[in-house]
Amino acid sequence: MKKKKRNNRGNRRNPNKIKKKVVMDREVFKIELGKVSGNHIGKTILVQGLLERIIQTPGPTLFALNDGTGSLMLKGFISPGERAFPDINDGDCIEAKVKLKEYNEAFEGEIMKIESLTGARKAKVRQKIDDVLRERSKARNPGFMVESKILEKLEDRFVKIATEIKMAVLQNRPIIVRHHNDADGYASGYALEKAIVPLIDKHHGGGKSAWEFFTRAPCSAPFYEIDDSIRDTANSLRNVAKFSNKMPLVVIADNGSNDQDLFAIQQGKVHGMDFIVIDHHYFEKDVISEEVLVHINPFLVGEDGQKFSAGMLCSELARFISDVENVEQIAAMSGMADRIDIMNPGAVNQYVELAGKQGYDKKLLADIATVIDFVSAKLRFMEAREYIEVLFGEPREKQKKLVGLMAPYIKDLERKGLEMAKQGATTEKKGSVVLQLLDIENSLPGFGFYPKPGKTVGMLHDWIQKSGKDSVVTMGVMPSAITIRATDKANFSVHELIKEIEKKLPGAFVNGGGHKNAGSINFVPGKKDDVMKVVRGFVGK
């Protein structure tokens, strides 16, 4: 039988072509962005994904690619400032052959070839991204650090918040963390930063990109006010216009549950921002939950917010977001700083015991809280990211040196502040209650003085109790505000006082909030004397 002849168009192939294909397969290989590493620098890789934004710089054109597993910035260059690959648009699903390089400690791909995908290829990439994002955004559930029925009731909310935050990271959505400007607020904000930033860093391949997608800043008031909301919105809209960013997810910590926060949240939502709230302050009516993605507050599940600080809640939440370390001391410190050990000693002692295993005793934790409170007064509304890292133990040895240096100095300032307050304080008997009043303006130095009025009132309140008085209300009175502390035996409520003033003096336009026994109120300056008459009639009722 004769053998059939084969030609180059049949089964027999040109040997040179076979060799060339093998070499090409070795040089160019398809890879998920989440698996890109330093080992691939200098190599040519094939990537697919969704273009989320395109940035035209004075030099190259930058294409931000996301495939669900990670992100990579692709760089195209024709001439300085000229748009590369003008037929490629943000929102396109693309496939690109790129040479992997490193720039500013982050990976980037120099585009050799790029094309927009259509039809079945586009649908396949889209579906894969959706599947990966759903799987990767699932929250961890490591269990809580301490035993608490309050935490157990809030567990589903922890899971949901962690899922929303992880999804925002994977979708390259900026995250803004806003927190109260005190030790508990900073503990809340930093615990979240500690959990979120490594996820962003990993997703974007390192470098400085994490700080392009994450911002943490203290609120300029004890609530998320319209000023902060407008600033956050304006900055975000600018980034959308300049860099094709998405509107952010805003996480409000140690604030956010009150009706005073509502208007600012609604303003942000008009522009496409979403909100999450983690708080422990009392609210008269829950007007926030229906406006935000998730709302955590012990009062929402029939528990007392005075039994868990926001820093304790956020430290627990951080562990649901990512595998974090050294958060036990943050929870313990915030609990002590916010006086949760008085209302819920069991939980705080559990955190203190865990922190002790990490080398933090009660004195060190108290000193850290003191230094953070002092620094927050000096920084005011600066982000001060690197300085705050040191205060929270990154690195720990530097933290201990800084706290050891500053704590004695700050305590001396507090001693002097208390002496000034004692000299300026007066007391009145209202039934069985002692009303202790401090004229802040005439008893303490002005702007920039430490301790702040709220801190000074707290110290004065503690001091009078040491004399054996256990039914006390202490008030620091200012021209248009009063800072308040009360003991349980005084049978006092900040919220009921606000109602009383609203009822009897509607023209004072009083507002405020806080906890039952600790808070503040504001009013029209010209109504100060009238407000104080109502206050004196209310105390000891």
- Per residue in 477-491, pLDDT (tens digit) is 999 999 999 999 999
CB 449 within 8 A of CB 427: no
More confident residue, 2 or 315: 315
pLDDT at 207: 67
Q: Which amino acid is at 148?
A: S
In angstroms, what CA-CA distances link 33 with 38, 49, 356, 448?
A: 12, 9, 41, 50
Condensed to tens digits (0 to 9), the pLDDT of residues 148-195 reads: 999 999 999 999 999 999 999 999 899 999 999 999 999 999 999 999
User: How many Cβ atoms are within 10 Å of 526's Cβ, its own excluded?
Assistant: 11
pLDDT at 42: 94
Nearest to 34 by CA among 70, 74, 73: 70
Query: What are residue 522's phi and psi, to 5 degrees?
Result: -125, 155
Where does the pLDDT of residue 222 fall: very low under 50, low under 70, confident under 90, or very high at 90 and above?
confident
Q: For domain 137-324, which architecture applies?
A: Alpha-Beta Complex (3.90)
Residue 510, judged by CB atoms within 10 A of its CB (0-12, 13-18, 19+), counts as buried
Can the peptide bond before residue 451 be classed as cis, meaning omega within 30 degrees of 0? yes
Give me the CATH code for the 15-126 domain, please.
2.40.50.140
| Residue ranges covered by each domain of the chain | 15-126, 137-324, 423-538
Cβ–Cβ under 8 Å, residues 472 and 513? no
Name which of 209, 172, 216, 214 is nearest 53 in CA terms: 172
143: left (phi over 0), alpha (psi -120 to 50) or beta: left
CATH number of 423-538: 3.10.310.40
Q: Are 219 and 178 in contact (CB under 8 A)?
A: yes
Question: Residue 98: beta bridge partners?
Answer: 45, 111
The count of other CB atoms within 10 Å of the CB of residue 57 is 11
What's the mean per-residue pLDDT of the chain?
Answer: 92
Checking if the pLDDT of 351 tops 60, the result is: yes
DSSP, collapsed to helix, strand or coil, labels residue 145 as: coil
- Given CA atoms 338, 341, 346, 352 in this order, what sign does their dihedral have? positive
- Phi/psi of residue 205, nearest 5 degrees: 80, 25
Tell me the C-alpha distance between 439 and 36, whole Å. 63
Among 200, 195, 212, 198, which residue's Cα sits nearest to residue 158?
195
The predicted pLDDT at position 13 comes to 41
Q: What is the pLDDT of residues 38-95, one digit of tens each?
A: 999 999 999 999 999 899 999 999 999 999 999 999 999 999 999 999 999 989 999 9
For residue 277, pLDDT over 70 is answered with yes
User: Distance between CA atoms of 327 and 146, rounded to whole angstroms?
Assistant: 13
Residue 237 has a pLDDT of 97
Residue-level pLDDT at 18 = 33
pLDDT-based confidence at residue 5 (cuts at 50, 70, 90): very low
Q: Which of 21-35, 351-365, 436-450, 451-465 has the lowest mean pLDDT?
A: 21-35
Q: Region 4-12: what's the mean pLDDT?
A: 42
Residues facing 486 on adjacent strands:
473
Contact 112, 84 (CB under 8 A): no
The one-letter amino acid code at 332 reads A
Residue 452: pLDDT above 70?
yes
Other residues' Cβ atoms within 10 Å of the Cβ of residue 73:
19
The span from the CA of 429 to the CA of 336, in Å, is 31
**436 neighbors 469 (Cβ within 8 angstroms):** no
Rounded to the nearest 5°, which phi and psi values hold at 213?
A: -115, 5
Which residue type does 210 have? A
Q: Which residues of 312-339 are buried (b: 16+ CB within 10 A; e: fewer)?
A: bbbbbbbbbbbebebbbbbbbbbbbbbb
Query: What DSSP character marks residue 206?
Result: B
136: CB partners within 8 A, 6+ apart:
68, 69, 166, 170
Average pLDDT in the 425-450 region?
Answer: 94
Greatest C-alpha distance within the chain: 123
Which residue is it, tokens 């003191």? Answer: 370
- Cβ atoms of 363 and 329 within 8 Å: the answer is no
What pLDDT band is residue 27 in, cutting at 50, 70 and 90?
low
Separation CA 188–CA 182 (nearest Å) = 10
